[in-house]
Chains A and B, each alone.
Chain A
Amino acid sequence: MCGLCGVFGVARHWTDASGAADAGTGTAERIHRARVANRMLGLFGLSLREWAGRYTLASRTGRAAVVDNLGAVWPEAERLAGRPCDPLDPAVIAAMEARRD
């Protein structure tokens, strides 16, 4: 809670803000975001699902975590995968390129 004015709230992530057509982060938008995320998370054996206004992130071995927004995905993804999720790792880029082909 904000100690100055008594307003509840957490700092929102920048990706929550005005992206596509004021879609905000309604359920349909979160489902879309999860689908986009899964193309990337699949590289690390993880998947994301929309869940009651938030997301659940899960590994193939059943480890799971709840995340509030896209910004919170990667620290949790690294924890669950047990390895860095590095978009500049040439092997990761090559794997993503292969998925696109």
Chain B
Amino acid sequence: MTEPAPPDPAPPEGGAITVNVLTGFLGSGKTHLLNRLLRLPELGGVAVLINEFGEVGLDHLLVEALDDEVVLLASGCVCCSIRGDLKEALVGLHDRMRRGLVPPFDRVVLETTGLADPGPIVATLTADPVLCHHFRLGNIVTVVDALAGLHNLDAHPEALHQAAVADRLVISKTDMAAPDRLEALRTRLRAINPAAEVIESGADSPVPATLLVSDIHRPGAREAEVARWLAAEGDGAGHGHHHHHHDGSVRAFVLSAGAPLDWAAFGLWLSMLLNRHGTRILRVKGLLDIRGVDSPVVIHGVQHTIHRPEHLAAWPDGDRRTRLVFIVDGLDPALIRRSFSAFVTG
């Protein structure tokens, strides 16, 4: 009996448009960062998706309004407001590019509102068959205000979640904050999300394009990215240490295993865990040693969504152990470890 050929909806490697999510609490300086990013010559060919033109001070960059939803910026970038839902905006923008109505772009920067939880945005991008064919998720960049950041993390669960899901944390307004307060914020962010790179940004400090460009999908950057995740193990997350600030119950920990894992057992267990607790598993990222596979398998996800696994050419630092960084909200690391052991490695 011949098997039906499986569908092949996977986007062509390198051909998909990267979507960066730019988030941060109200007043954290997202728009300021966006403005500076749009001036970088390395970031030509970017389309920006925002909620309303009025919210963003892009007037000085504006060249012409193409229609009610799309404007052209001096940098050659396209800026589009989201009128309906995210899917509609992305498909519409892609369609305009295909028809030659807007300059070509290979990256979309999606600026969320200050109160947004990035989880559903990520789910929309990766679960929708149309979108996942043309777009792939790049770095989630979260801006945290050096002045109000600590307070916001204490007072607003949205701010805490935004920090926890980030691939890059940008501390803004560093030139305005007292050194001890800045250090307290650094420590706090490391406890919440030890796997993210932290970039500090004052009014005049340069913003690196790598903030967006250097991500897990980029072959030359993959090793460094994974090394940063794994460094979390030695950063207090190794034992699920809970930093008793006012972080509610957000905590990071590392799950590790010495023996190779069965892919099916791991996949079933993680799927079961995400099906029941996905909204409380803010991030999972790490390396797996899979039975029958020589190279390490990279896995990463946000809440319910796990991205297509990738491979590294070699084991970093020669350590072949499976190591997974979890950032969870309100779940007990000890129970997750025991469950992993019972279902996957036992």
Which residues of A approach B to under 8 Å, CB–CB? 2-5, 7-21, 23-27, 32-33, 36-37, 40, 52-53, 70-71, 73-75, 78, 84-88, 90, 93, 96-97, 100
A88 to B140 CA separation, bound complex (whole angstroms): 28
* Minimum distance in angstroms from B163 CB to a CB of chain A: 24
A70 to B308 CA separation, bound complex (whole angstroms): 14
- Known: A17-B309, A19-B309, A26-B3. Is A100-B275 also a contact (CB below 8 A)? no
Partner of A11, one of B98, B126, B339: B126
* Minimum distance in angstroms from A73 CB to a CB of chain B: 7
Cβ–Cβ contact B3 & A96, under 8 A: no
A33 to B335 CA separation, bound complex (whole angstroms): 25
Q: Which residues in B have their C-beta under 8 angstroms from that of A85?
A: 272, 275-276
28 example contacts (A-B, Cβ-Cβ < 8 A) are as follows A2-B133, A4-B95, A7-B133, A11-B127, A11-B132, A14-B301, A14-B306, A15-B264, A15-B271, A16-B6, A17-B309, A18-B297, A20-B262, A20-B263, A20-B292, A20-B293, A26-B3, A27-B3, A36-B268, A70-B268, A84-B276, A85-B272, A87-B276, A87-B343, A88-B331, A88-B332, A88-B336, A93-B342
Cβ–Cβ contact B133 & A53, under 8 A: no
Whether a CB of chain A sits under 8 angstroms from the CB of B317 is no
Q: Which residues in A have their C-beta under 8 angstroms from that of B272?
A: 40, 74, 85-87
Say whether chain B's binding surface is mostly helix, strand, loop, or mixed: helix
- Known: A14-B306, A15-B271, A96-B342. Is A2-B129 also a contact (CB below 8 A)? yes
Cβ–Cβ contact A37 & B98, under 8 A: no
Cβ–Cβ contact A10 & B9, under 8 A: yes
* Minimum distance in angstroms from A72 CB to a CB of chain B: 9
Cβ–Cβ contact A36 & B9, under 8 A: no
Q: Which residues in B have their C-beta under 8 angstroms from that of A10?
A: 7, 9, 129
Whether a CB of chain A sits under 8 angstroms from the CB of B346 is yes
**What 4 additional pairs, Cβ within 8 angstroms, besides A4-B130, A4-B134, A85-B276?**
A9-B9, A14-B307, A33-B268, A88-B339
Residue of A nearest to B301 (CB): A14
Cβ–Cβ contact B263 & A40, under 8 A: no
Partner of B263, one of A9, A19, A75: A19
Q: Which residues in A have their C-beta under 8 angstroms from that of B263?
A: 15, 19-20
Partner of A36, one of B127, B133, B262: B262
Whether a CB of chain A sits under 8 angstroms from the CB of B244 is no
* Minimum distance in angstroms from B89 CB to a CB of chain A: 14
Partner of B94, one of A4, A8, A11, A21: A4
Q: Which residues in B have their C-beta under 8 angstroms from that of A32?
A: 264
A58 to B80 CA separation, bound complex (whole angstroms): 48
A73 to B266 CA separation, bound complex (whole angstroms): 14
Most chain-B Cβ atoms within 10 A of its Cβ — which of A27, A32, A40? A40
Cβ–Cβ contact A74 & B271, under 8 A: yes
A37 to B344 CA separation, bound complex (whole angstroms): 11
Q: Which residues in B have their C-beta under 8 angstroms from that of A7?
A: 9, 133
A9 to B267 CA separation, bound complex (whole angstroms): 22
A37 to B272 CA separation, bound complex (whole angstroms): 11
- Known: A11-B128, A14-B306, A14-B307. Is A86-B95 also a contact (CB below 8 A)? no
Partner of A8, one of B7, B293, B331, B342: B7
Q: Which residues in A have their C-beta under 8 angstroms from that of B115?
A: none
Partner of B7, one of A12, A15, A26, A84: A12
